[in-house]
Structure 1
Amino acid sequence: MTELELLGPLAYAKPCGQAVLKATPEDFQVDEVLDIPLSGMGEHLWLWVEKRQLNTEEAARRLARAAGISAKAVSFAGLKDRQALTRQWFSLHLPGKADPDLCGAEDDSLRILNAVRHSRKLQRGAHSANGFSLRLTQCSAPAGWMDARCTLLQQQGVPNYFGMQRFGFEGNNLLEALHWAEQGSFPEQRSRRSRVLSAARSYLFNRLLAQRVAEGSWNQVRPGDLLSFTDSHSFFAATQADCQDPRLAALELHPTGPLWGKDLPSSLEDTLQQELDHGLDAHSGLIQWLAEAGLTQERRILRLPIRKLSWHYPQPDLLQLNFVLPAGCFATVVVRELVNLVEPMDMTCAF
């Protein structure tokens, strides 16, 4: 499945150049931002871990084996890219136990940078943001054009699509979800079940967002919209006064779209009708499957603000990008508005 099928159209004019991302893991670096003061005492050992070309779940299993505990006793806030250099927190539940020797978990792909005790385990979604440091190599976009485009994204944000990583290689996670939905059943393995449900839900959100990008309303308030602040999990119905709220222009407040589950979305008027028409008419079987899985209706902001965005050229064909995104958002949806990504040395003209 193609990027256009799984995500949607770009919000801005077609990029004026190409580049390579992830030629090496160091080209895609992620630092988890966790605003939790650690007490230094308690039955949970929190680890600040650097991973290179290693996914989060495998890192958790390695830590569990080294500590001699069940994999269920290892927690993390969120999944990070495998093809990257990432730093994130894990917690190990060690009631009545001393700090274990974790040397067996370490090698060139995993290093433990810090260890601190705390009274509580690390919860999923506990991190507030992720900091990204990206290097776009073989970059052919003119520097002047790139300066203008980065400034535009800084001022207006980008559509908050779920990135291609959510759907697996060639969309296999989504294809598997469609298969399970057609059968009316679910995988028994917890991690696999979570992966396919998430892919299906993300796909439905992306399709609705793609429609609003196409009509130019992804960053505007419409009658019936539900609004949310960037870092909030709550939302409220937009009023006429909200359309003029300066926090919209400041990229602090945003319209939202549905993450499907049981019952109907809470949106109103035109927005509700569009969400029902798009969802129930085109994807009713998938939505019913998500409801049967016990998921509840949630919302996700349609517009992604890009915080602390900076960029420069260490070399003429190397663009360095640094920025911070809210948890659960994808750096690759920022990059796709800047350049067409290609494989190394495949720099044929595509614009």
Structure 2
Amino acid sequence: MKCELLKNAQLTPEVFVSHRNAPLSETGRLRLARCVVEDGWSLRRAAERFQVAVTTAQRWASRYRELGPAGMADRSSRPLRSPNQTPTRTERRIIKVRVLRRWGPARIAYLLGLNVSTVHRVLTRYKLAKLRWLDRATGQVVRRMESACCGDLVHVDVKKLGKIPAGGGWRMLGRIVGNRNAQADKTSGQRSKHRHPLRGYHFLHTAIDAHSRLAYSELLTDERKETAAAFWLRAQAWFSTCGFTVRKVLTDNGSCYRSHAFRDALGDIEHRRTRPYRPQTNGKVERFHRTLADEWAYARLYRSDAERCAEFPRWLHTYNHHRGHTALGGQPPATRVPNLSGQYT
């Protein structure tokens, strides 16, 4: 019988299983259909033989009569008609608002009087880039800068961080008591000519390697050119102890980085600057400062500035050697630096 000969025949269609519980591949469907159409098997007998429902046997037999072996392939589950689909005119309005204003589904839905899920489904159907992938100023997809190896590019920047008065600031004591505490700590018992005296600041100087995200950071008293130059010399020496040489440095256009003192500290290292008013170019160190603020500076309530400063070296070591980084596949920065911990010596 033809049905028995099919077991040893070389069939053209490739075996394809739509899901792991599917009882029939394309080859099995062809065998079932030929047993019914060409060999005259009943639908019930064929269904029992191939361990499927009678309706399944009927479906593949009908497709074989209509299309032949080509009808054994899976068809798209998309319906032939979608009478309730969002009109094309509405879809174009959604896309226009997204491109011009760069709004999310919720704001677009409020503007156009639509359901949020409808707007989200349209944006997904046309594969529009997510807002977090776009540059808000230009609307262009952000290009990620990725260095090939350690030392190819190091990002440098400064972040101002307000000091905590003795006894705790407003985050712990509330704004009324905390502000009074800060004023008393700042004036040290003397009357100030300012109604709200300026609070003291730490200047957090940071250098972060673009390839490994390994960071060197210090809490300093200012951001003058001499301070920035001395910081870079210490940072460069630290990166050398980690086993790589810095070749390029990227900074913003701050006065300390445009000074001759910082230029002399760099020496033969190539100095690149960001475009004015474009902090996104120096985004790796900007993102590090945000992580630092979330996980160290404001992660818990500190009773004094000294308590928070003492915690900083421990947090920085955790960041470099133990904290998983999303850009590195969940691994800490130290794993991208060859032989940093001496495991290959």
The TM-score bracket by the shorter chain reads: under 0.3
Larger helix percent: 2
Structure number with the bigger relative contact order (C-alpha 8 A, sep ≥ 6) is: 1
TM-score (norm 1): 0.20
**Greater gyration radius:** 2
TM-score (norm 2): 0.20
Larger strand percent: 1
